[in-house]
Structure formats: C-alpha cells, structure tokens
Structure 1
Amino acid sequence: MHTNLSPRSLLHDKQLKTKFDALTLNSNFKLKILPLSVLYTVASGLTVFVPVTVQAANSSIEQITIYQGLASVTRALLISGTGEQTLVFSCLSPAIEPDSISVQALGNVNIGEVSIETLSGEQAAQCQYQGDANVQTQQNNLADISAELEAARLTKAYLQNLTKVTQITTAGTLANNARDLETQAASINKKIVELQKQEARAKDALNQLVAGSTTSAQNSVTQVSVRIANRSASSVKLHYQVRGASWEPTYQARLNTDSKQLNITASAIIAQQTGENWNNVPVILSTVNPNQTTTSQLPRVERLSLYEERQDKLARYAQPMMESESAPVVVSARASYGGASGADMPPLPSFTVSSQNKNGITEYRLPQRVSIPSDGRRVRTVIDEQSGTSKLWLRSTPSAEAAAYWYASAPFLTPAWANGSLQLYRDDNYVGQSQYDYQSLKEQGIGFGVDPSLLVKQLTDENKQGDKGVFNRQQTKTTTQAYQFTNQHNRSVRLQVLSAEPVSSDDSIKVTATHTPAISQKDWKDNKGMVAWEFDLPSKQSKVLQSTYQISYPADKKLNTN
C-alpha cells in the first residue's frame, strides 16, 4: 500500500509550519501544545497522523500562596485541541522543588507521564525578561519601527526598479510617470531617514531598560512537560512549590492620649527571588511556617539504677552531652535565606483583605491582583485594621529607672496576628518600635514611650545590717526604699508603680515587708515577688511610696542574693 502524501496536503503543511514558526519566534512565555494529530490525505484516500509542534496560548497563574521561605504556585491552561498532546510549561523558576510538582485536569482528560528538565544558556536568556512589562513594550515598539522601516526600503527598491523601466521610453506620459515615481522615491527616502532615527532611539531606550531592569538574571530555567489525551476542550493545572519567596507582618499602633483612641494597622511585606516575575497575580498569605517541626517529641524515660560516687561524677559530666544530642533542631526561614465621586462614576475598587482561620492557621486573601518582581523588592499591603477606645495609664519601675511610660490596653487584639515588628505613634509622633506579641501585649498592655511630664525621684535607699551577738542565733538585714512621683500634666493621670519583694527559697530565711501606702496587688500578673500600686495622681500633685524589707537568717550563714 502506497502512503505518498498529496501535493496539496504537503503545500498545506508547509504553509501551516510557516505560520507556526512565525508565531514561535514572536512568543515570549513558552507554554506550548504539541498536537500529535495533524491529518494528511494519501493517494489511496486514507489518512495518516504526523506529529507537528504547535504553539498555544500562554499559561496563567491562577493562585499563589506565600509562606515563610517558599510559595505554592498554581498555573492553569485552557486546551481547545483534542487527541494526544504534550503540554510544555517553560520559563519556570530554577528553584522549583521537583517532589512538589503535581498535575490536575478538569473534565475527561487522561494524564500520562510528567517530565522535568533544567534548561540553561539560550533558553534561560530568552526567559530573562519575559515578565518585564516595560522591556516587552519597548521590544514591541522597536519591532513595529523595524517592520515599517523594512517596508519603506522595499517600496524604495520597487520604485527604483520601476523608474529604470520607464526610462526606456521618454515620450509623453511615460516620462511624466517616471518623474512622479522619482518624487515618490524621494519622499520614501525622507521617511527612511526618519524611521532610522526612530529605530536608533528605540534601540537606545531598550538597551537602557535592559541595563537598568531589576529582573533577576538567571543561568537556568525549569521546564515541565505533561502528556495528556482529551476529546473535548478542558483545563489543565500545574501545581508546584518554589523556594525564595516570603512575607512578614508589620504593625503600626497609633494612640491619641486625649481621646484614648487606639488604632492598629496590620500590613504584610512581601518579597521574592524565585526567578519568576509574578505580574498581576492573585495572592494568599499564610501564617503557617513550612520549615517548622511537624511531629511532637516523645517523653524521655528515666532508667534508675544504683551507682558509686565515681559513677555519679562521670554521669554528671555525660549528662549535658546527652541533653545536647536530644535537643530539637530549629530551622529558621530567614536562615535559608481619595478620588472623585458621583452617581455616574464607577465604584472604587475595595482593597479590604479577607481572612480565614483554619484551626490556628490564618490565611489572608488579597482582593486585588498584585505584581511582585523577582528582584527582592519589598511590596507592602494592608491586611487588617482594628481600632477602639483604650484604657490608658502610666507605668513606672523606679528601682530600674527613674521614669514613667505611657501604656494602653488593646481589648481588640487578636491571636490570629503573627508576631512582627510594631511601629508606635503617640499623638501623631513616632516614639519608637517594639514587637507585636499577642500574649505579652494582652497581659501587660502596649508601651508608648517615656512621659517627661511625670517626674520620678528617689528619696531613700538604705541598707542596714544587724549586729551579730555571742548568743544571737539570727542576724538581720533591713532595706528601705522611698520614691516621689510628681504629675506635671494639666490633668489627672492613672499611675501604676511596680516593685519587687525579696523571695525566700529556704525555710530558715524569713522576710517581712512593709509598704506605705499599702500595695494594690501582690504577685502582679502571677509573677511571684512583684507588687504593684495603682492610683490616680491629680494634676500638679506628688505622692511618695515607701517599702521596707527585713530579712532574718541564721547567724552562721551567709546570705546569697541572685
């Protein structure tokens, strides 16, 4: 049986290949469909299938979830062709984790083998600027100018040849036509000169963009090929994880001491250096840290035995080593490195972030698509905001520092917010930076810096040691401390003063404490030994607090203070 291809089908094949070659050259993001079902008519009337490489539409990023140190990416591709095909996702990040790659298809689609390869050299160079919109725009502009210049040159050559032909006969109309052609050729020459200048300027602009582009140059890219078979239009999704992306929360707390209003804004700072430029993509931020330990430790079982004193010494030297060997290894992600309004105006887009708590893991879904280039630049977006009326007070620990600090309660704090840096503003003035830690801030309040209008002065700091008599079995040590607090504000303030009583860890040590005035709270915030006074201090008034501690212990012992 002869299977010679008909001339008509061969011509059709050549035209088809020419079109697809041109499309391939003009493509940037290399996501291809390779159909294996191009039909040819043979002389006997039968048909055969010949594989041909075909370029298809670009894949789109359907979703990106960013964790600490890595991101999960989902790309989608609509398929209109049918039959057996091979999809090629190229220009992907070289930092893709191969074990994380998975493929899903919608509809009646059979998925075959998935191959992963690393391409370098020319392929990587072609992908380098595929995500840079400015570079792409300038490349298209240069291509348009070059095409127009080439067309003008072809027109000039045609007119020149036509003029030579008309010069064979110089009579009448032919001579006039020749002069007209020469005039047109002169006009074309001027246009060519102008287009050459535009082309030179466009090339310079492109070179400057490429030289100053923040697109990360890379020596290799990842390519994923997926073999499928389908009978109808469908969609294929490629999922993978890639290192080099992260986000961190940051907060701004603004306190108005007059109205007692507290506002806290939570923002996310996102950066990535994966090798892929993420342009206009949907993003989810997750508070989970994939680098953390995923399993709990088992309890250590003590093995009891009798041993000699010498063995005891050896065991004491060996024990720290054993504890060190069993200590968990903690891996850190950082170590891996207002407009016009009116009825006729369309509604303004909302940038309110929606959040969802999934059993301790919070996800922030950004409502707008964002662009995050792969150059490490920091992209910041607001993810939440809370405000309300706060309880204000001044706190002083005079034994540590002769100063008082502004504090505010925040009943609306949420444990869903991850720990991060906290910028502090008091009455529209930046007063410093702290750390957002839900448990600590919930218990102790948010500090907003020193208050220079509350003066703290030490009046007394005495230590007296009791005499040791021949018949005395006890000796005593007495400490007296007194501090004065003066309110220079034009209003009353709530003052909290913290102090510490000595705590005995031995039954033979007795401690007696006397406070004037009486303290408001003992073992403040469940901290043994800490005491607190809380009172309102009127404007331009002063108050003195005094504490006396008497410690008695055996006369033949020395008192140890840690």
Structure 2
Amino acid sequence: MRPKTFFLATTIVLLCLVVFTGPVLATPSAVTLFPKGGTITEQATLTAGANTLTIPARAVPATLSVQVNDNRFALSGATWERIEIAHPEKTAQIKQQIESLKQKKAATADTRKAVAAKITFWEHQLSRNWEKSDDALAVGAALETPLLQGYQKQTALSRQIEEMDKEIAELEKELRKLTSGQENQWAVRIALSGPADVRCPIEFSYFFPECGFAPAYRLNAAMAKNAVDFSWDADIWQNSGVSWEKVEMTLTTASPSFDLVPPDLSPWIIQERPQAPVYRSSMLMAEKSVADAMTDQATASQPQPVLKSTTTQWRMGKRSVTSGEKQRFLIASRSLPARFLHLVRPSRSTKAFVQASVSLKEPLQAPEGEAIFLIDGTMVGRGPFSMEAREATLFFGQDPLVSATKTLVSKKSGKEGLIATEQTIQWQWDISLENHHPYGVTAQVEEPRPQTRNKAIKTAWTLDPAISEKKSDHQTFVWEMDLPAGKTQTIQMNVQVNAPTDMNLMPDM
C-alpha cells in the first residue's frame, strides 16, 4: 500500500505543478527613457520548452527583443496574446473597499451636517435678546456642555473624513499599480531549445508608451560673477503598474525606432518644369505674376530640410520610480560663463532687457523643456529653454532700473535746385539712456538702419557716438555703451533722405 500511496501522491503533485504553473516571474532591470515612452528591459530564468511571461497591456509586443544568455540554449519562437490580469480578485476587493469607504464618508459627512445644524441652533439661542438676564444665564449654563460636546464631535467627524480621504487615495493608488488603468496584459510565449535539466537566464525588452521624462531647468543670472547658474532636473513618470526598483536608467533625446528593413529609395527624375496655370479674376485688384506662381509651386512641392542635433544619452545609474507617480531627479548642475548686456530698442520700447551671452568649450546638449528664469535668486519668469550648441543668447526679462527714451528733436522737409528736382527730409533724434543701479552696466542699443528700395533714393547720417561696426549690419545700427551708476548718456542720430520730387515717399519709422 505504501508504494502505491507514494506514487499517487507524487502524481498529484506533478499534476498540480503542470496545471497551476503561472507566468514566469520577471523583474525590470534597465530602462531607456525617451521624452515620450521608453524601452523596458526585464530579466527572467526560463527552461527548455514553452515559457510564459507577462508585460503591461499598453506595451508594444511587436517591439519585443529577447537575448538568451546561455550558449547551450537557442530561441525557438516567440508569440503573444491578450490575457486577463492575474489578480482580478484583489482588484475587485480594492474596488469594493473604495466604494464602502465612500459610502461611509458620505454618512459621516451627513452626521457632521446634523451636528453643525444643532450647533447653529444653540448659538442662535445664546445670541437672542432675552427679557430677563437670569433667563439668559440659565440658557447659557444649560447649553455650555452640549455646545462643547457638539464642537468636539464636529472636529472628530472632520478628522474621520480626512482619514477616509487618505485611505481612499491610498487604495486608488494601489489599484492603479495593479491595473495601470487597464484590465488585461500581454502574455508572451517564449520557446527555448536546450538541455532539460538546466535553467537559462534571459533578458527581454519592449517599448512601453506609458512612461517618459520632461526636462525642468533653473537658470539664475548671477551678474556679479558673470555666470548663469544652471541646473537641470528630469521629471520621470511611468504607469506600468509595477514599481521600478533600482533599475539602470538611461535618458535619451533620440526618437524610438524599431524598423526591421530599410526604406525604399525614391526615383530621382530630372525633367522640364511644367507650365504653371495662371488664374485671372475681375474681382481682384492685382494679379500674381506667372513667375511668382511658378516659384510658389516649386517651393510647395519640395521638402524643406530640417536640421536635427545628434543624439545624447545620460546614464543615471540605479534609480527607483513608483508606478503612477512623477518623480524628479537631478541630471546636471553647473555654472555657465556668460557676458551680460542690457538690450534696448528705443524705437519700439523704453524697456531694457537683460541678455546673457553664453559661450562654452563643449555643447551643452540640453533638450527643450520648461525653465524658470531668475536674476540673483529672484524669479522673473518661465519659458521654454533648449541649448544644443556651444553658444547661446538667453534673456532674463526686463530691468526696470535701466531705460532708453527716443525723442524726435526736429523734422524738416523741402525741395532743392532751381527747378526743384529733388526733395529732402531730415530727422534729428536724441536717445537718452538711464541707469539707476548703484553699479555700472553695459547697454546694447539697437535701432533700424534706413534702407532704400530704389537707387534714386539716397540716404546719409551722422551718429554720435559712432556705432559698433562689428555688431551692426545692413539693417541695424548697434551701439555698445557702458552706463555708469546713476548716470544718463545720450545718443544723437541725424538722418537725411534725398529723392526725386515725383516720388511719393513713405519714410516714417
């Protein structure tokens, strides 16, 4: 009897192992995060034959990559299918707990309202105009204890509601971890060929869109030390339903690509450009020329080149990220050498804007993200920031203690020559620059340079002080001036335009 009993027991155990063997347990070991989405790498130990792994429902199974880490084994195949989540009972239990707590919270809130109504009634009795003071004293004495108990009960009920809110939030957080907002998962069937008595370690990776990172920058203009204090954080998030515990994390600016075959070449055909149609309408005051129409058509049909920077990766070491939460990690912090100027454009505004010219030995490689801008620790604004080169110009808002005012001193016009064949217009402006700081600053003043669209129109000017020839160009006058503390400096602009008298000029700025 004993051998039969032992054989029967052994058979039952083996059957249970066959029937109730679930998916192989795998744990995330590395993550490569893109701004939107990421590649998750997990590790598992499999056996020869068929094995089942699960990955989140929003993973992209077509991107699955499997690496066998034992030369005695070979990958025979991999397939996948949708399955129900592995813990529906626990999910249902948590949902029931949440619903029960919400009902209990509603009942407690109703009780608190009733207590508050009693308190209001009792307080009203105390504020009544009693005919006899003895009556008022008697009522006050009678209500002292009920009021105190009412206040205490109201406070206790409020605390109970707060505690229930916390419990509901924790349960909802746990529910998100279990389901990741989904009701199923992918079952990945991996078949291995190899020795039957050995376990094989593997790594498999897949693209998961429900994760990513967003750069968050802090730029502080430290003008006293001619530097911009730069710090870069990354807000990292994931909704896989499983916490990432001490995974090797890498951030990259690359776009994920899983193409298996190269793209086909497009034929390069050189031929005569077709004649562009010309449409005429009596409703139009002017017509577009044939040449303009052909130019527009050619521009629209040609792809426009887009320059992209090289890909950069940041290896962050081992990090932990909880599912359903956003966590911030410091990526880099450094001081960027900078030259500060106060940029003014008096013809457009009296305001002076703080400008920092940053020059580095190596490119910064900071992808676009949200930044806060500060001057000496005081926040002046928010805005987008990116820098993927060695040089950049940054603005830190306006400085109310520096201003520029442009004043028209005179404007003259007339005709010259015996037969009055030429007209002349003369302007004289003064630009006043004021610095109310207790220290000196450098100002860069920019004004539009007069440009003509006809050779018959002649321009001339005198500028005091002279412009910076290095910074000025064909359309802009640029001055760079040191403004002493508490002082005012002036720029004088004299401009003259000569043109034939039959020209109807539009010279005003």
- The TM-score, its normalising length taken from structure 1, stands at 0.64
Q: How does 1:56-71 map to 2 (within 5 A)?
A: 58-71=25-38
Matched with 2:107 is none
1:104 aligns with 2:89: no
CA distance in 1, matches of 2:268, 2:443: 46
What letter is aligned with 1:100?
T
Q: How does 1:17-166 map to 2 (within 5 A)?
A: 17=15, 20=17, 54-55=21-22, 58-79=25-46, 81=47, 84-90=48-54, 92-107=55-70, 108-120=72-84, 123=86, 125=88
Matched with 1:391 is 339
What letter is aligned with 1:78?
T
Partner SS, residue 9 of structure 2? helix
Matched with 1:370 is 320
Asked if the contact 2:63/2:258 (under 8 Å) is kept, the reply is: no
CA distance in 2, matches of 1:404, 1:279: 50
- Per-residue deviation, residues 278-305 of structure 1 (Å, max 9, x unmatched): 4443221101134899989998957247
What letter is aligned with 2:9?
L
CA distance in 2, matches of 1:446, 1:208: 42
Distance 1:546 1:99, change over 3 A: same
Partner SS, residue 418 of structure 1? strand
- Per-residue deviation, residues 60-87 of structure 1 (Å, max 9, x unmatched): 11211111322111111134x5xx3322
Matched with 2:403 is 455
Asked if the contact 1:282/1:370 (under 8 Å) is kept, the reply is: no
Gaps in structure 2 of 5+ consecutive residues? 93-97, 99-163, 281-287
Partner SS, residue 210 of structure 1? helix
Q: How does 1:437-476 map to 2 (within 5 A)?
A: 437-438=386-387, 442-443=391-392, 445-460=393-408, 462-467=410-415, 471-476=419-424
CA distance in 2, matches of 1:504, 1:127: 79
1:421 aligns with 2:374: no
What letter is aligned with 1:542?
T
Q: How many residues align?
A: 417
Asked if the contact 2:415/2:501 (under 8 Å) is kept, the reply is: no
Asked if the contact 1:393/1:408 (under 8 Å) is kept, the reply is: yes
The alpha carbon displacement at 1:538 in A equals 1.7
Distance 1:103 1:545, change over 3 A: same
Distance 1:506 1:408, change over 3 A: same
Distance 1:235 1:306, change over 3 A: closer
CA distance in 1, matches of 2:455, 2:483: 39
CA distance in 2, matches of 1:487, 1:421: 32
Question: Which of the residues 379, 387, 402 maps onto 2:327?
Answer: 379
Q: Say which structure is richer in strand.
A: 2
Question: Which of the residues 237, 262, 271 maps onto 2:237?
Answer: 271
What letter is aligned with 2:27?
S
Partner SS, residue 171 of structure 2? helix
Question: Which of the residues 479, 482, 495 maps onto 2:443?
Answer: 495
* Bigger mean CA offset, 291-300 vs 378-387: 291-300
Matched with 2:481 is 535
Q: How does 1:431-442 map to 2 (within 5 A)?
A: 431-438=380-387, 442=391
1:209 aligns with 2:159: no
Matched with 1:552 is 498
| Identity in percent | 18
Asked if the contact 1:498/1:530 (under 8 Å) is kept, the reply is: yes
CA distance in 2, matches of 1:204, 1:11: 51
CA distance in 1, matches of 2:202, 2:423: 85
Partner SS, residue 312 of structure 2? strand
The alpha carbon displacement at 1:490 in A equals 2.0
Asked if the contact 1:497/1:533 (under 8 Å) is kept, the reply is: yes
* Bigger mean CA offset, 101-110 vs 458-467: 458-467
What letter is aligned with 1:363?
Q
CA distance in 2, matches of 1:113, 1:548: 82
Asked if the contact 1:128/1:218 (under 8 Å) is kept, the reply is: no
What letter is aligned with 1:65?
T
CA distance in 2, matches of 1:205, 1:533: 62
The alpha carbon displacement at 1:52 in A equals 5.8
CA distance in 1, matches of 2:165, 2:277: 86
Partner SS, residue 409 of structure 1? strand
The alpha carbon displacement at 1:415 in A equals 4.0
Distance 1:309 1:469, change over 3 A: farther
Asked if the contact 1:501/1:513 (under 8 Å) is kept, the reply is: no
CA distance in 2, matches of 1:316, 1:463: 39
Asked if the contact 2:415/2:421 (under 8 Å) is kept, the reply is: no
Distance 1:67 1:427, change over 3 A: same
What letter is aligned with 2:31?
I
Matched with 2:147 is none
The alpha carbon displacement at 1:512 in A equals 1.8
1:518 aligns with 2:466: yes
Partner SS, residue 386 of structure 1? strand
Distance 1:383 1:531, change over 3 A: same
Partner SS, residue 8 of structure 1? helix
Distance 1:95 1:329, change over 3 A: farther
- Per-residue deviation, residues 369-398 of structure 1 (Å, max 9, x unmatched): 12141x3x4322111122155333322111
Gaps in structure 1 of 5+ consecutive residues? 21-50, 130-134, 136-202, 331-358
Q: How does 1:310-349 map to 2 (within 5 A)?
A: 324=300
CA distance in 2, matches of 1:124, 1:472: 97
1:225 aligns with 2:189: yes
What letter is aligned with 1:9?
F
CA distance in 1, matches of 2:237, 2:217: 17
Distance 1:324 1:9, change over 3 A: farther
Distance 1:287 1:76, change over 3 A: same
- The TM-score, its normalising length taken from structure 2, stands at 0.70
RMSD, aligned α-carbons: 4.1
1:250 aligns with 2:216: yes
Partner SS, residue 12 of structure 1? helix
The alpha carbon displacement at 1:452 in A equals 2.2
- Per-residue deviation, residues 163-208 of structure 1 (Å, max 9, x unmatched): xxxxxxxxxxxxxxxxxxxxxxxxxxxxxxxxxxxxxxxx999876
Distance 1:56 1:499, change over 3 A: same
The alpha carbon displacement at 1:441 in A equals 9.2
CA distance in 1, matches of 2:346, 2:372: 26
CA distance in 1, matches of 2:350, 2:364: 33
Asked if the contact 2:236/2:328 (under 8 Å) is kept, the reply is: yes
Partner SS, residue 13 of structure 1? helix
